[in-house]
Amino acid sequence: MNRSYGINAVLRSEEILQSGRIVSLDELVNHEPPEVRAEVLDFLQFHYALGEFLPNEEADLTPDEAASADRIMTLARRILWES
Protein backbone atom coordinates (compact mmCIF):
# COMPACT_ATOMS: atom_id res chain seq x y z
CA MET A 1 0.00 0.00 0.00
CA ASN A 2 1.43 3.38 -0.90
CA ARG A 3 0.94 6.73 0.82
CA SER A 4 -1.74 8.00 -1.56
CA TYR A 5 -3.81 4.84 -1.08
CA GLY A 6 -3.67 5.35 2.70
CA ILE A 7 -4.66 8.99 2.38
CA ASN A 8 -7.55 8.08 0.08
CA ALA A 9 -8.68 5.44 2.59
CA VAL A 10 -8.77 8.15 5.27
CA LEU A 11 -10.74 10.43 2.96
CA ARG A 12 -13.22 7.64 2.17
CA SER A 13 -13.66 6.93 5.87
CA GLU A 14 -14.12 10.64 6.67
CA GLU A 15 -16.83 10.87 4.02
CA ILE A 16 -18.71 7.93 5.56
CA LEU A 17 -18.36 9.30 9.09
CA GLN A 18 -19.41 12.82 8.06
CA SER A 19 -22.58 11.38 6.59
CA GLY A 20 -23.62 10.62 10.15
CA ARG A 21 -23.30 6.89 9.79
CA ILE A 22 -21.58 5.28 12.77
CA VAL A 23 -19.28 2.46 11.72
CA SER A 24 -16.29 0.69 13.19
CA LEU A 25 -12.85 0.77 11.64
CA ASP A 26 -13.28 -2.93 10.87
CA GLU A 27 -16.41 -2.12 8.83
CA LEU A 28 -14.54 0.60 6.94
CA VAL A 29 -11.66 -1.74 6.20
CA ASN A 30 -13.93 -4.54 4.99
CA HIS A 31 -14.59 -2.50 1.85
CA GLU A 32 -10.88 -2.52 0.95
CA PRO A 33 -9.20 -5.24 -1.11
CA PRO A 34 -8.20 -8.18 1.13
CA GLU A 35 -4.48 -7.79 0.40
CA VAL A 36 -4.34 -4.27 1.93
CA ARG A 37 -6.91 -4.52 4.74
CA ALA A 38 -4.38 -4.99 7.56
CA GLU A 39 -2.28 -2.03 6.41
CA VAL A 40 -5.33 0.18 5.88
CA LEU A 41 -6.57 -0.72 9.37
CA ASP A 42 -3.18 0.24 10.87
CA PHE A 43 -3.17 3.49 8.88
CA LEU A 44 -6.70 4.41 10.00
CA GLN A 45 -5.94 3.50 13.62
CA PHE A 46 -2.88 5.73 13.49
CA HIS A 47 -4.82 8.55 11.86
CA TYR A 48 -7.75 8.50 14.27
CA ALA A 49 -5.68 7.82 17.39
CA LEU A 50 -2.93 10.36 16.78
CA GLY A 51 -3.89 12.49 13.82
CA GLU A 52 -1.51 15.42 13.76
CA PHE A 53 -0.97 15.41 17.51
CA LEU A 54 2.25 13.85 18.68
CA PRO A 55 3.05 14.42 22.37
CA ASN A 56 6.44 15.73 23.45
CA GLU A 57 6.69 13.31 26.33
CA GLU A 58 6.60 9.55 26.49
CA ALA A 59 3.26 7.88 27.10
CA ASP A 60 2.98 5.33 29.89
CA LEU A 61 2.28 2.26 27.76
CA THR A 62 2.07 -1.40 28.62
CA PRO A 63 4.59 -3.63 26.79
CA ASP A 64 1.84 -4.78 24.40
CA GLU A 65 0.73 -1.19 23.70
CA ALA A 66 4.35 -0.13 23.15
CA ALA A 67 4.90 -2.97 20.67
CA SER A 68 1.69 -2.07 18.83
CA ALA A 69 2.65 1.62 18.75
CA ASP A 70 6.11 0.76 17.40
CA ARG A 71 4.57 -1.40 14.68
CA ILE A 72 2.11 1.33 13.69
CA MET A 73 4.79 4.03 13.67
CA THR A 74 7.06 1.87 11.51
CA LEU A 75 4.21 1.22 9.09
CA ALA A 76 3.22 4.90 9.06
CA ARG A 77 6.79 5.97 8.31
CA ARG A 78 7.03 3.42 5.50
CA ILE A 79 3.71 4.58 4.05
CA LEU A 80 4.72 8.23 4.25
CA TRP A 81 7.87 7.58 2.23
CA GLU A 82 6.26 5.36 -0.42
CA SER A 83 4.72 7.06 -3.41
pLDDT along the chain (83 residues), means of 10: 77 84 88 89 80 54 78 71 54
Query: According to the model, what pLDDT value does residue 13 have?
Result: 85
**Are the beta carbons of 71 and 42 closer than 8 angstroms?**
yes
Query: According to the model, what pLDDT value does residue 34 have?
Result: 92
The CA-based diameter of the chain, rounded to the nearest angstrom, is 37
Residue 40 DSSP symbol? H
Indicate whether this model's pTM tops 0.85.
Answer: no
- Alpha-carbon torsion angle 38, 44, 48, 53, nearest 10: 100
Q: Please tell me the total count of domains within the chain.
A: 1
24 φ, ψ (degrees, to nearest 5): -85, 165
